[in-house]
Amino acid sequence: MQVEKPIFEAVDLSKSFDVSAPLLRRIIHREGRATLHAVDAINFRIPRGKTFSLVGESGCGKSTVARLVVGLYQPTGGKGVFDGHDMAGKRSRKEMAGLRRRFQMIFQDPFASLNPRWRVHDIIAEPIRAHGISDDERDITRRVALNLERVKLSARDGEKFPHEFSGGQRQRISIARALASEPEFLVCDEPTSALDVSVQAQILNLMKDLQRELGLSYLFISHDLAVVYHISDYLGVMYLGRLVEVGPAREIFKNPQHPYTRMLLDAIPDLEMTGRKRIPVGGEVPSPISPPSGCHFHPRCPFANARCKSETPGVTSLPGEIDVRCHAVEEGRLAAEVEKLKMQQSSAA
C-alpha cells in the first residue's frame, strides 16, 4: 500500500524481562522462572512525515516500545528497522553513531529530564557536540539560538537555568534539545501528560508546526485519547504487551473494531454531554506477569467465548488498512453482538 519506505518499522518486535525470584527462593519454594512479556511480537510502520501514536492503559508496554525504538533497550525478539537499517544488527558504537543522530526522544517529565546544574545553552549544545555535528563554538551558539527560536523561546534564554522556567517552557527546552542534532524522527513518551491543558495545547500546536516545517516523523505515546485523536495519522492500541488494533487514526476512531478499543473510546469523558449510550466498562488491567490465557482481554470482554479463552487471536486485516487481533472480528460475529448488547441495555434502562 505504502510505496515509500517507512521511517520506522517494527517487525515482530518483542521485549521480555526476567522477573524471577532470587535463585535460593526459587529452590526453597519450588518456583519456576517468571518472565514478563512487556512487548509481545508487535508490528507497525511509521510513514515518513507522519505521526504514529500508541495508546493503552498503564502497564500495557507502550513506554517499553518507545525505549526499544530508540535503542535504550535491546529487543529480545524481532527487530526495529529505522530507515532500512536493522537496529538490532548494528551492535557496534560506530555503526549506531550515524543512526543515533537521526532520532531523538522527548520524555514525560520536563522537571526530571533536564539537568538542573546546566545552563539551557549547555543542555541544547550537548547533542551538537556529542554527535560531532559541530565543534566550532560560534556555530554551536548559532545552532542553539536557532533551536530555541524554533520552540518559540528567545536566544537569550540560553543563559538561564531550567528552574527559571515553567513546566511548559521546560518541555520546549527538551524539544529544542531533541531538535539540536537535526533528527528526522522523534519518539515522544507522554510529552504533555505532566502539563496543564492550556500549556498542553501550546506544546501540541508547536509539535504540529515543527512537523510541518521540518518534515519530522513522530512516534507519540499517550494515554489521552483526545490528544491522540488531535495529533495522530496512524494509531496502535496496546493491551498487555500486544498490539490489538492498528491502522489509520481517523478510521479507528470513527469505526473501532476491537472490543478493547471500543471500551477505551467509550470511557472518554464526554465534553459534549450528549448522553450517548455506552458499553459498560468492567474490570481492570490484569497483572502483565501472569496475563490471562488466549486473548488477554477475554476476562473483560463482553463478547468472549470459549475460543477466546484458549487461543491467541491472529491478525485479521480489514479494509482501510486496519489490522485487528480479535476472534469475534475474524469470525464476523462482533457487529451483531454489539447491537444485541446495546438493545439489551436500552431495554434494561
Partner 1 sequence: MSTKKPVLEVRNLRVEFPNRRGNLVAVDDVSFTVNEGEVLGVVGESGAGKSMTGSAIIGLLEPPGRIAGGEVWLDGERIDNLSQEAMRKIRGKRIGMVFQDPLTSLNPLYTVGWQLIETILTHQDLTEAQARKHAIDLLGEVGIPSPEKRIDQYPHQFSGGMRQRVVIALALCVNPRMIIADEPTTALDVSIQAQIIKLLKRLCDEHGAAIMLVTHDMGVIAETADRVAVMYAGRIAEIGPVQDVIKKAKHPYTEGLMGSIPVVGHDLERLTQIEGSMPRLTEIPRGCAFNPRCPQVFDRCRVERPNLIDVDRSSAACWLHANGTSKTEAAQ
Q: Binding residues for partner 1, per CB under 8 A?
A: 57-58, 166, 168-169, 196-202, 204-205, 208, 223, 225-227, 229-231, 253, 263-273, 281-282, 284-285
Nearer to partner 1, 92 or 290 (CB): 290
In whole angstroms, the minimum distance from the beta carbon of 231 to partner 1 comes to: 8
Residue identified by cell 453482538 is 337
Nearer to partner 1, 69 or 264 (CB): 264
Residue 38 · residue 16 · CB < 8 Å: yes
Full strand arrangement of the beta sheet holding 322-324: 103-106, 185-189, 217-222, 51-55, 234-239, 242-248, 322-324, 316-318
In whole angstroms, the minimum distance from the beta carbon of 96 to partner 1 comes to: 35
In whole angstroms, the minimum distance from the beta carbon of 259 to partner 1 comes to: 12
Nearer to partner 1, 1 or 271 (CB): 271
211 C-beta neighbours (distance < 10 Å), count: 18
Scanning 216-314, the segments in alpha helix (DSSP H) are 225-231, 249-254, 259-267, 306-310
In whole angstroms, the minimum distance from the beta carbon of 253 to partner 1 comes to: 6
β-pairing, 316-318 vs 322-324, is antiparallel
Report d(CA 45, CA 9) in Å as an integer. 4
In whole angstroms, the minimum distance from the beta carbon of 269 to partner 1 comes to: 3
Nearer to partner 1, 86 or 209 (CB): 209
Report d(CA 193, CA 62) in Å as an integer. 14
Nearer to partner 1, 119 or 208 (CB): 208
